[in-house]
Amino acid sequence: MKNQEFQVAGSQVIVHLAGDLQGELVAEIRETLLDYIEKGYYNFTLNFSKVTGINSTGLGTLVNIQKRALQNGGNIVLTELQGLAKTAFERTRLTKAFPILQDSDSDRDCHDCIS
């Protein structure tokens, strides 16, 4: 997966995404996230600072991964959501389904989340 970076920090997986999240790239990201879930990781921080766009397949994939994480007591937090990706989340009202932080400081409380 070109330009996608996955890091484990304790019980959390931090993912730096890049590019246009659609098609084969989304399928690869999905498989990698599911592999982490199978290994017992249920908390994810997805950094969108280098994402240029996302389509309905990408959004649906994130919703499905979020569902699996929540079923196991985890969560997905989105950071640095901007541009076309932010517009896609806002138009589909998925900003209400995911905690969204303004920057990559994942230690912040959710009062900094966009609602």
Number of domains in the chain: 1
- Taking alpha carbons only, the member of 36, 45, 30, 42 closest to residue 80 is 45
Q: Supply the pLDDT for residue 110.
A: 40
The parent domain of residue 66 ranges over 5-112
> Per the structure block, which two tokens stand in for 114?
């966009």
Q: Supply the pLDDT for residue 3.
A: 83
Ordered DSSP codes for 6-45 = EEEETTEEEEEEEEEE-HHHHHHHHHHHHHHHHTT--EEE
Phi and psi of 60, rounded to 5°?
A: -60, -40
Inter-residue contact 17 to 29 (CB < 8 Å):
yes
Query: What confidence tens digit (pLDDT) does each residue in 2-33 have?
Result: 789 999 999 999 999 999 999 999 999 999 99
CATH number of the domain encompassing residue 99: 3.30.750.24
Give 52 or 3, the one with higher predicted confidence: 52
Q: Supply the pLDDT for residue 59.
A: 97
Whether residue 48 is predicted with pLDDT greater than 50 in this model: the reply is yes
Query: What confidence tens digit (pLDDT) does each residue in 54-70 have?
Result: 999 999 999 999 999 99
Inter-residue contact 36 to 69 (CB < 8 Å):
no
Give the Cα separation of 22 and 75 in Å (integer): 22
Residue 62: Cβ-neighbour burial (10 angstroms; 0-12, 13-18, 19+): buried
Query: What confidence tens digit (pLDDT) does each residue in 66-114 have?
Result: 999 999 999 999 999 999 999 999 999 999 999 999 865 544 444 334 3
Q: Supply the pLDDT for residue 105.
A: 52
